[in-house]
Structure 1
Amino acid sequence: MVKEHTQIVHESSAKNQYFAAFVVNLLIIGFGVTLGWSGPNLVVLKSNKSPLLTGKVTEDEGSWIASLLCFGCLIGNVFFGYVTSKFGRKTPLTMMTVPIIISWLLILFAQNVIYLYVSRILNGFVGGGLFVIVPAFLSEIAIDRIRGLLGATLAVSCNVGILLEFIFGYYFNFYAPPKFVIALTTVCGVLLYFLPESPSFLIEQNKSSEAEESIRFYQNLKGKDNNYELLQTEMNRLKNTVGVDDMKKSNEHLMKWSDLWSGPGKKAMMIGIFFVLLNQCCGCVAMTYYTTDIFRESGSSLDENICTIIVGVIQLIGAYIATFLVDRAGRKFLYVVSTVGITLGLTTFGIFMMLKTNGYDVEIFNWIPIASFSFVIFIASWAVLSLPFLVIAEIMPEKLKNFGPSFCMIILWSLNFVIVKYMPLLKATLGMHGMMFLFAGYSIVSAVLIVLFMPETKGRSYDEIMKLLE
């Protein structure tokens, strides 16, 4: 009877989890607009149609506008990694709405490039925090059967924002994105008020009654006397996971440096670092900052702005497909397909650009740039671009739940800053084709390592994942 009752509850328990995912992903959509913003707007800012009172920006200023976002993300990782360990998930997410609105007001009223520099740093500061807090929050509130789905919504929402920005850049003016994100952030700030804190964090703080209410909300358990047995089972599970009984007796729940070099912690950190390196060194993220410029240089048969929108649509479709496959095909399978696909797509693009650079007539193949680049972004969205944050949140031992993702994100955004800032130099040094071959080489080596060493976490509980990493 209890088993049957539990099954019935679990059939309807995800309703509020989906609502919470929708709310926090409004912030991710806004950050997606930020990520896509430099693509179409740098072209405008570097032209005689620049909206700045000081006129058009230089090539070097344009690279700083693109890359300072990553610098802000680096600061945000460190700051929010600390804040979330002290104040939980809900409060920092609510706090973020203020700098988001300020950053877009700076663009709305920008008079010179300094306004844009400050705006990008502020937006990055928030983005760095989002990619630490949101994956952890969704992982903590989700039941096992939809944990992968909710985690994958991060990439879908980010891609929705990127696509919206590409559309804004083509069909609207420079001032449309700030107005949209400010309105979206305001709505999100209001809706966040109705979400309880993560039950895991509340248990860490020994707030048992609040944790019970949080579990009731996120698992849709109605009535104080109903589902009591299920509620207590969930409370005991979380207490065992967090180690709350040990907390009362000792400081063993606190992270020690030895946790990084032994047991599950060591393997989790190695896997996390590997995935953020792959996320950046495959080149897909950095290339989205310069999508319009890449298509302009490749001589695509379509208008570069239309190409950018097509890529945005395909990237969104790829991330959307990943949400259905992640809990069916598994993380490892998607990563293998994703890395091999990136290799094939970038190699094809690289061969086209090599032939064009060497003076061969490739006019009849001018469809290759848009086709190969779209394929790369599509297949990268299956795993390389969409799953690192989910997998890192899943595999981190409880003692490293705050430090581990923050450290991985510090590496990610540091790399992102360097690659985005110096991609124009890399392209000038190696040529477009050389750059594509370099990224393809890194991707295929990563595919081999994934086949050999990556554990599968699909459908596994926290305890099962920790046993895999021992």
Structure 2
Amino acid sequence: MKETKLPIEIKADRRVVHQYLAAICVNIISLAQGTAIGWLSPFLPLLISTDSPLSTGPVTDIEATWIASLLCVGAVFGTLLFGWSADKYGRKFSLCIAALPLIGFWACVAFGGYVEILYLGRILAGLGAAGVFLLVPLYVTEISEDKIRGSLGSFFILFINIGTLVAFVVGAFVPYHITSYILIFLPILFLLCFMQFPETPHHLIRCNKIEAAECSLKYLRGYTSSPDHLNMLKEEMNSLMNQIVIREKDTNEDASIKWADFAPFSTKKAIMIGMVLVTLNQFSGCFALINYTAQIFADAGSDMDPNVAAIVVGAIQIGGSYVSTMVVDRCRRKVLYIVSAFCSAIGLAAMGAHAYLKASGYDVSMISWVPVASLSFVIFIASMGILPLTFVILSEILPPKLRSFGASLCTTFLWVVSFIVVKYFPVMVEVLGMHGCMWTFAGCCLFGVLFNAFFIPETRGKSIDEITLAMESTSKN
């Protein structure tokens, strides 16, 4: 008995190891993007101060909001570009191209002494972000087996958060220009590592490159030339080809997207769910809070050094993301999202209560720890559910033919909403007060609880085909 169990276990390990390696290597660019996002928190206060490293001197408050928000502007245009490129030239090629704007961003930081150069750099960082946020979840979804798709999909936010923490730490202890010299190597490392991995079988089948698709699937699943493995490869290829409908005589005509493809109510519902999910992702407040972490703690009067507080929050964020990778394929997606959204609302409400008491003139010195604790809790719990599940669910519910286009549409909308939140967060604080902003974000999280409970189908452990059928059946009901 012992002799028969061992080969089976080895076979099981071999079937997933290449998928894990591919997911880790493709997420090196997520790590690089996280550093570009996290760069703002430690260095925005420096750019505003009299010690600004720019030749033009300190940036104004208005210039600071543009530096923060232009990443979103670049991402809006980049999403359209990479959405087209993903279908035209493939996921792998487009991901490699997405590394170039990130290299350009760090070059602008390293050699640009003017605020206009920083504007350009942030737009380039946005172009890179568009490719990363659109293509990494898409690539991982299309290479993964159903049983591990959620775990591998959760790597995305985990690596984004690791990159954010790296930027917090390096920004706190390393000079402004040296930081860019160090972090520019991350997108280069991604190119060196990712080039060896194949294009997704889904895209190759849609392009009618059946032999290449078989080679890709054989590598990703760890299939050998044994008869059993060849039969498994044939069965999985047949299943994929049945899911991805291709006309034999006119592949190009079938691959093109038509208005009729949007006619089914299930498709409209999937896109509507995607739009709401990305909106809730941003109005949970996490992205704005991460961008302004150091400044928020300084304004809250916390005794902890703002940069140290940001590092603590970044480390906790990674903890939440790591827990997500462990539980996302063990817990129902709906339950995990609902618990995460509800607990985030509690943490944001606590932050709002502290800010309200301080604005009302109460002595809050005894509870000065509340902003750090509450924000840490929100970031941790949101990183378990709201943040990673947005992209996991989005990549799962869209019909295969419209997956790239639908993901592009929803991601574009995400960056539009993100621009509004990040650009006008300081204005919201002035108009509503910090407490009003936190309570608004908390209300959005509570809405997310209700929306998920009533409108989003459960996707854990289901194939893409089964999810599509579930969407159609719920639409009829």
TM-score normalized by the length of structure 1: 0.96
**What CA distance in whole angstroms lies between the structure 2 residues aligned with 1:175 and 1:26?**
22
Identity %: 39
CA shift at 1:127, angstroms?
Answer: 0.7
**What CA distance in whole angstroms lies between the structure 2 residues aligned with 1:216 and 1:445?**
43
Q: What pairs up with 1:347-362 in 2 under 5 angstroms?
A: 347-362=349-364
- Matched-pair contact (CA < 8 Å) for 1:168–1:176: no
CA shift at 1:255, angstroms?
Answer: 2.6
Distance 1:188 1:135, change over 3 A: same
The answer on 1:135 being equivalent to 2:137 is yes
Partner of 2:57: 55
Give RMSD over aligned pairs.
Answer: 1.7
**What CA distance in whole angstroms lies between the structure 2 residues aligned with 1:165 and 1:57?**
21
Partner of 1:93: 95
Partner of 1:448: 450
Partner of 1:206: 208
**What CA distance in whole angstroms lies between the structure 1 residues aligned with 2:257 and 2:78?**
21
Deviations 1:177-223 (A, max 9, x none): 32233212222111222111111111111111111111111111123
Letter in 1 for 2:146: D
- Match of residue 114, structure 1, among 103, 113, 116: 116
Partner of 2:416: 414
- Match of residue 158, structure 2, among 156, 176, 185: 156
Q: Point out the more displaced range, 280-289 or 5-14.
A: 5-14
Distance 1:195 1:224, change over 3 A: farther
CA shift at 1:103, angstroms?
Answer: 1.8
Distance 1:162 1:302, change over 3 A: same
Deviations 1:390-431 (A, max 9, x none): 111111101211111000001100011111111111100111
- Matched-pair contact (CA < 8 Å) for 2:42–2:171: yes
Deviations 1:151-174 (A, max 9, x none): 000000000000011101211111
Letter in 1 for 2:207: Q
Runs of 5+ consecutive residues of structure 1 not aligned to the other structure: none
**What CA distance in whole angstroms lies between the structure 2 residues aligned with 1:219 and 1:200?**
14
- Matched-pair contact (CA < 8 Å) for 2:246–2:254: no
Deviations 1:110-148 (A, max 9, x none): 111011110110111011111111111100111111100
Q: What pairs up with 1:429-444 in 2 under 5 angstroms?
A: 429-444=431-446
Partner of 1:180: 182
CA shift at 1:244, angstroms?
Answer: 2.5
**What CA distance in whole angstroms lies between the structure 2 residues aligned with 1:180 and 1:220?**
35
Q: Point out the more displaced range, 56-65 or 94-103.
A: 94-103
Q: Point out the more displaced range, 219-228 or 413-422.
A: 219-228
**What CA distance in whole angstroms lies between the structure 2 residues aligned with 1:240 and 1:269?**
23
Partner of 2:475: none
Distance 1:267 1:235, change over 3 A: same
CA shift at 1:330, angstroms?
Answer: 2.0
Runs of 5+ consecutive residues of structure 2 not aligned to the other structure: 473-477
- Matched-pair contact (CA < 8 Å) for 1:72–1:121: yes
CA shift at 1:246, angstroms?
Answer: 5.9
**What CA distance in whole angstroms lies between the structure 2 residues aligned with 1:446 and 1:138?**
25
Deviations 1:7-40 (A, max 9, x none): 8744421111111111111100010011111111
The answer on 1:280 being equivalent to 2:282 is yes
The answer on 1:103 being equivalent to 2:105 is yes
- Match of residue 230, structure 1, among 226, 229, 232: 232
CA shift at 1:245, angstroms?
Answer: 4.5
**What CA distance in whole angstroms lies between the structure 2 residues aligned with 1:7 and 1:274?**
42
- Matched-pair contact (CA < 8 Å) for 1:239–1:245: no
Letter in 2 for 1:295: F
Q: Point out the more displaced range, 347-356 or 216-225.
A: 216-225
CA shift at 1:264, angstroms?
Answer: 2.4
- Matched-pair contact (CA < 8 Å) for 1:246–1:253: no
CA shift at 1:247, angstroms?
Answer: 6.8
**What CA distance in whole angstroms lies between the structure 2 residues aligned with 1:361 and 1:72?**
43
- Matched-pair contact (CA < 8 Å) for 2:247–2:254: no
The answer on 1:373 being equivalent to 2:375 is yes
CA shift at 1:276, angstroms?
Answer: 0.2
Partner of 1:219: 221
**What CA distance in whole angstroms lies between the structure 1 residues aligned with 2:151 and 2:251?**
37
Letter in 1 for 2:278: V
CA shift at 1:99, angstroms?
Answer: 2.3
- Match of residue 268, structure 1, among 267, 270, 284: 270
